Amino acid sequence: MEVFPGKILIVDDEPDIVEFISYNLKSKGYLIAAAKDGVEAIRKAKDFRPDLILLDIMMPNKDGIETIRELRAMHEFDDTAIIFLTALNDEKYEIEGLKIGADDFISKPIKPELLATRIGSALRRFRKDEEQEQKQTFGDLEINKTKFTVSYKGVDILLAKKEFELLCLLASKPGRVFLRNEILQRVWGTDVIVGDRTIDVHIRKIRQKVGIDLITTVKGVGYKFEMS
Amino acid sequence: MEVFPGKILIVDDEPDIVEFISYNLKSKGYLIAAAKDGVEAIRKAKDFRPDLILLDIMMPNKDGIETIRELRAMHEFDDTAIIFLTALNDEKYEIEGLKIGADDFISKPIKPELLATRIGSALRRFRKDEEQEQKQTFGDLEINKTKFTVSYKGVDILLAKKEFELLCLLASKPGRVFLRNEILQRVWGTDVIVGDRTIDVHIRKIRQKVGIDLITTVKGVGYKFEMS
DNA sequence: CGCCATATTACGGAATTGTTAAGAACTGAT
DNA sequence: ATCAGTTCTTAACAATTCCGTAATATGGCG
């Protein structure tokens, strides 16, 4: 197992299909995770961080179209390729899916070789430079998503996971105000329901730990990231 | 610039592109040769013996597909990486090219940084064959993958196989966080199913045996290798 | 002042990881 | 094959950290 080609999340409600695809891709060295419906898919995507998602359209509990819409809405997965699995001749979905942000389609029944080449080319198209780390700097502040670290003037600051995610979100568009609502959806996900004060508490912790005032409150609206 | 990174043959019929790429790669220390079509490419390859060939697909006088086919047919260039240059969205060639023996694709217009990283990783993939002692050192720590040993300040530390593999994985990208998921699949393989605590136990043993704190826990995410 | 939104603080439950020991699985030698 | 020694996995429990909430404080603004 020398180079590893990528991580793939398979989403389908039929265990047989998941098993079949999973087996095929594993043999090619991919790392696999699976989900059985849209809700689970989004949750798993958040912590598995796949390079590509194979998404069945027909599913209970949030269908493929809706799932892809949500995934694309939180911009966390902008670098993730998404391939739809469709029943044969399901063109109406294809057009729909393309508009929303699918990158390719594969019709069932699935042929292993076809699957492999399509996945390969989708990944190549999307390949972020896996080699180099994803980091952003703002003046003396550095946020490194690969290392999960934040440092200020070279000194590391230890943030908890939620704090880190929240900071990443705000820092993804410096200056832009994120509504409280939006923050909840993007950091906590659509299913989880937490009180409003929770955000404040995390914001406070970030401010406290970082020391300087990175995050500006926009009263009645939300928060934004801004270097003074 | 101590070691020279490699020799590259650029094959494209547009002088501007050749010039552009050439300029970029020279600045990184590569030795460059150029050819304007497939026929010339093969001739030059024979006496320049490049480590890597950048091959345009659309060319007069023998196109890229045909050229690569011939190059691969004579086994003289089995150790040479070949990267295709394609117009955007030219997938049909990509699949074709992969079958025949291309190692990667880069779409025009070409971005210099991307070019560099792709070339770097293609070369690295091919270099691996040259068997040399694969060892890494981090401060006082040395990991020798050929000898299967780890030493700290010159003193050997006996790690069990799984412990060694785990440490190697983490050390392969110092600082980068590996998700628990990822660790399981890459160290234990995809079929084996082991409990979550197993990872912790092995981590603990490594920490215990090595003595110093090499491995940092990122709660809710995974582990990373980091010299303090 | 009184209202409203946010800030702050502290606390308990939840989730995650650390630790230990025990036995299963493996290894190599006799 | 048997045995000793090691390695691997698990299970149970301890320790830690994280997260959400609620209660209270603060501060702006009409």
Are residues B88 and B52 part of one domain?
A: yes
How would residue A2 be classed by pLDDT, with cut points 50, 70 and 90? very low
Spanning CA of A6 to C1' of C23, the rounded length in angstroms is 37
Query: Are B155 and B142 contacting, i.e. CB atoms less than 8 angstroms apart?
Result: no
Are residues A154 and A110 part of one domain?
A: no
What is the CATH classification number for the domain harbouring A50? 3.40.50.2300
pLDDT of residue A198: 96
Sheet of strand A149-152, all strands in order from the earlier edge strand to the far edge:
A135-138, A141-144, A149-152, A155-157
Q: Which helix (H) or strand (E) holds A84?
A: strand A81-86
The residue of chain A with its CA nearest to that of B122 is: A3
End position of a domain, from candidates B127, B150, B170 = B127
Closest nucleotide to the alpha carbon of A194, via C1': D20
**Does residue B1 lie within any of the structural domains?**
no
**Does residue A1 lie within any of the structural domains?**
no
**Per-residue pLDDT tens digits for A145-195:** 999 999 999 999 999 999 999 999 999 999 999 999 999 989 998 888 899
> What distance in Å separates the CA atoms of residue A83 and residue A106, rounded to the nearest whole number?
7
Q: Which helix (H) or strand (E) holds A150?
A: strand A149-152
Which residues constitute the domain of residue B70? 7-127
Query: Are A84 and A104 contacting, i.e. CB atoms less than 8 angstroms apart?
Result: yes
**Count of Cβ atoms closer than 10 Å to residue B40 Cβ:** 17
**Chain B residues close to A4, C-beta within 8 Å:** 186
> What distance in Å separates the CA atoms of residue A216 and residue A200, rounded to the nearest whole number?
12
**Per-residue pLDDT tens digits for B137-166:** 998 999 998 888 999 998 999 999 999 999
Nearest to B98 by CA among A91, A154, A119: A119
End position of a domain, from candidates B89, B106, B127 = B127
**Nucleotides on strand D with an atom closer than 7 A to protein CB?**
6-13, 17-23
Query: Are A131 and B121 contacting, i.e. CB atoms less than 8 angstroms apart?
Result: yes
Nearest to A129 among B117, B190, B191 (CB): B117
Which residue gives the smallest C-alpha to C1' distance to D11?
A: B197
Are residues A29 and A111 part of one domain?
A: yes
Count how many domains chain B has: 2
Give the DSSP per-residue string, B25-93. Answer: HHTTT-EEEEESSHHHHHHHHHHH--SEEEEESS-SSS-HHHHHHHHHHSGGGTT-EEEEEE-TT-HHH
Are residues B141 and B116 part of one domain?
A: no
Query: Are A53 and A9 contacting, i.e. CB atoms less than 8 angstroms apart?
Result: yes
- A73 CA to chain B: closest CA distance, Å? 23
Question: What are the residue ranges of helices labelled H in B107-153?
Answer: 112-127
| Tokens encoding A59 | 């599913």
Are residues A69 and A97 part of one domain?
A: yes
> What distance in Å separates the CA atoms of residue A10 and residue B6, rounded to the nearest whole number?
39
pLDDT at A77 over 90: no
Q: At what angle do helices B64-73 and B38-48 cross, to 10 degrees?
A: 40
**Does residue B169 lie within any of the structural domains?**
yes
Q: A32 — contact with chain B (CB < 8 Å)?
A: yes
Quick check: B186 and A4 CB within 8 A? yes
CA geometry: angle at A150 spanning A149 and A154, to 5°? 110
Please report where in the chains the tokens 């792709």 appear, as a residue.
B118
Which residue gives the smallest C-alpha to C1' distance to D22?
A: A197
Are residues B70 and B168 part of one domain?
A: no
Are residues B106 and B187 part of one domain?
A: no
Pairing of strands B31-35, B81-86: unpaired
Q: A156 — contact with chain B (CB < 8 Å)?
A: no
Query: Are B177 and B201 contacting, i.e. CB atoms less than 8 angstroms apart?
Result: no
Quick check: A148 and B120 CB within 8 A? no
Are residues A202 and A119 part of one domain?
A: no
Q: A209 — contact with chain B (CB < 8 Å)?
A: no
| Tokens encoding B61 | 């006088």
Give the DSSP per-residue string, B75-103. Answer: GGGTT-EEEEEE-TT-HHHHHHHHHHT--
**Does residue A19 lie within any of the structural domains?**
yes
> What distance in Å separates the CA atoms of residue B137 and residue B153, rounded to the nearest whole number?
11
Nearest to B154 by CA among B168, B134, B174, B139: B139
Count Cα atoms within 13 angstroms, Cβ side, for A217: 9
Please report where in the chains the tokens 């508490």 appear, as a residue.
A201
What is the CATH classification number for the domain harbouring B141? 1.10.10.10
Q: A160 — contact with chain B (CB < 8 Å)?
A: yes
The residue of chain A with its CA nearest to that of B94 is: A121
**Count of Cβ atoms closer than 10 Å to residue A100 Cβ:** 18
Counting other chains too, the contacts that B144-151 makes at CB distance below 8 Å and 24 or more residues apart are: B150/B210
- A128 CA to chain B: closest CA distance, Å? 9
Mutate to test the interface with B, among A18, A23, A47, A111 (most CBs of B within 10 A): A47
End position of a domain, from candidates A86, A101, A126 = A126
Write out chain B's pLDDT in tens, 228 residues: 445 678 999 999 999 999 999 999 998 889 999 999 988 898 898 888 899 999 998 877 777 888 888 887 777 787 888 998 887 666 666 666 666 778 888 887 888 888 888 888 888 777 655 556 678 899 899 999 888 899 999 899 999 999 999 999 999 999 999 999 899 988 998 777 899 899 999 999 999 999 888 999 999 999 999 987
> What distance in Å separates the CA atoms of residue B199 and residue B222, rounded to the nearest whole number?
10
> What distance in Å separates the CA atoms of residue B48 and residue B42, rounded to the nearest whole number?
10
Q: What is the DSSP letter of A104?
A: E
**Chain B residues close to A160, C-beta within 8 Å:** 219-220
Closest nucleotide to the alpha carbon of B205, via C1': C19
Are residues A96 and A139 part of one domain?
A: no
Q: Which of residues 5-64 of B touch strand D (CB under 7 A)?
A: none
